[in-house]
Chain A
């Protein structure tokens, strides 16, 4: 009982996750800045931002629906944290595990987007509503390649359980190399989920101010910001668990550090991508996802089926 609570609230749950996410945000921001030839923020900047926001008054627009407006960030925050508990962090163990948990993680990661939509919609601001509609439109574009990319790896392992995926790949080292195209697809789709350049269309600053977040302030905004950071870490962790399942035989501590390094590596790739690209338009984004990512994901699935049929037989 106490062990469970400790795991959920302190380590590797809430507290650790929040701290690590803020660190990941720092890493992302610093790297982004250095790549742009700027100095970048000091290490405590994300923490200071959150603390400042938590101390600020929160304003709720009179026309907004106060209950939905307040609940949306909490939904998003909770869902993102819950998703983390199913991901194997060191060796092959996860806190909770059952058959099909990879799907649960994916769906839990969809909830923040839905919450942003609800929060933006109920804040009644025009900019927020346009942003909300855009984030939903975008959801339908990136979700399919993301699912296909991640599930192709599960398909090869013949299980929908993250723990067993890890088991399979430690029994068949180097098989993860087959999934590299799937990794690229999932990484690009993850950019869409995290609403980062080139897919930061729902919060395009120069068009619609901050999209769904326009009316948020104070604590609620702090939760939204935290959610975005946690989403980034959880998304990166999911990708790391599914696509880089190596080094699982090491001792727990080394394995854990390696896993964090994998997450940081994926965050690094995300920052790199957002540095070198411009924001696409929503129609271009949907075009790109359906015309290139989805067919590529099909190819990956076919490849994995072939591998399964020929090599693993």
Chain B
């Protein structure tokens, strides 16, 4: 920086543009990006390893926590794989409810993305408006499943909660409001000059590059690649739903915005169909605790793209191997391509446009002692002891607190 024109700036691991820790090191010349280096892995939590040490039922909840936004996607993909190995034939009603929750999740995720995109290009009003509307769908999810984020509705062999008539009506009402608002956003997206200026022509990923780099989801569809697992490889109740796969030919961030906005409209239609055609019957069937040996691969169209789960069972109650490939990992390769010869100012929105979810992407972290010479992995117990010790050194006494807790118990 001091004497040459070229310099490197770090975007991340901690940076206001990134909602999760991930590192992008950008080489700049003036405002132009010369090169970009991506370092992933800051969010690794060892979920794949942990899944091997837990039972299938425990794994559902563990895997649901891979990601906060597409939690239903991961848990559905996982239980689908397990059900395929166990050879379970699911009741129709369960499949419809899964589809319904999945689409509600897509609505909330796309609205969230729209807000984030607005923020990345300095259009905070859009952020505030879309997140206000997102509350509607969050409330609906809380109404149906009891939770706003990790719904916990999937179980092996069906879903854990049924939907009542009143709840269904609430959902339909919410859909009407949301549809009207979304129409307004589409109109806004097509007409607001500064928005169009900032989005169009930015982060171009051509059709060929999208294929070559294996892009998935809205990122690929905005480049004209007609790939949607819901249509190509129907799961849950999607085979019976009537919906279009949205593609755009823009190949840029603007196209990705349009794809997501139009997908919202499709999602409302699917939700309406789910409610209208919801079959009667049980929502769950009994599943064995021990899953017979076998392997299965399950694909799921998460809001961000194709989510792949591979499960191998060995006849015990714990899986032999669970492999998760989140959509962001497939798309992050394309980011380098999109940022070639662009400006620094485009960087946040281009990264945001693949709707990155880094905690999905990384799945393992271990805590290690950095201050001691031998870098040992700390387990829960030592970590706890370390923490108590540290606080004691700071002069905080836990004795009183412990006594208080005891008397309360």
Contacts and interface: CB of A to CB of B under 8 A. Distances in A.
- In the complex, is A directly touching B at CB under 8 Å? yes
Interface of A: 35-38, 126-127, 129-130, 134, 197-198, 200-201, 204-209, 275-284
B343 A283 contact: yes
Interface stretch (B81-89, B191-199, B317-325, B370-378): B191-199
B124 to A, nearest CB: 7
B340 interface: no
Contacts of B197: 278, 280-281, 284
A281 B16 contact: no
A129 B2 CA distance: 11
Contacts of A126: 1, 7, 9-10
Given A126-B9, A130-B9, A278-B195, A36 B345 contact: no
Interface of B: 1, 7, 9-10, 15-17, 28, 31, 118-126, 128-129, 132, 192, 194-195, 197-198, 343-348
Given A36-B128, A126-B7, A207-B17, A278 B1 contact: no
Contact of A282 (B28, B124, B345, B347): B345
A128 B38 CA distance: 23
B15 A279 contact: no
A37 B129 contact: yes
Secondary structure type dominating chain B contacts: helix
Given A205-B122, A284-B198, 13 more contacts: A36-B129, A126-B9, A130-B28, A197-B122, A198-B194, A204-B345, A206-B16, A206-B121, A207-B347, A209-B16, A278-B195, A281-B345, A284-B197
A35 B10 CA distance: 34
A73 to B, nearest CB: 22
Contacts, number: 84
Given A126-B1, A127-B9, A278 B123 contact: yes
28 contacts: A35-B125, A36-B124, A36-B125, A37-B128, A126-B1, A126-B7, A129-B1, A197-B122, A197-B123, A204-B345, A205-B16, A206-B17, A206-B122, A207-B345, A207-B348, A208-B9, A209-B16, A275-B125, A277-B194, A278-B118, A278-B123, A278-B198, A279-B122, A282-B31, A282-B343, A283-B31, A283-B343, A284-B197
A207 B118 CA distance: 14
Contacts of A209: 15-16
Nearest to B346: A281
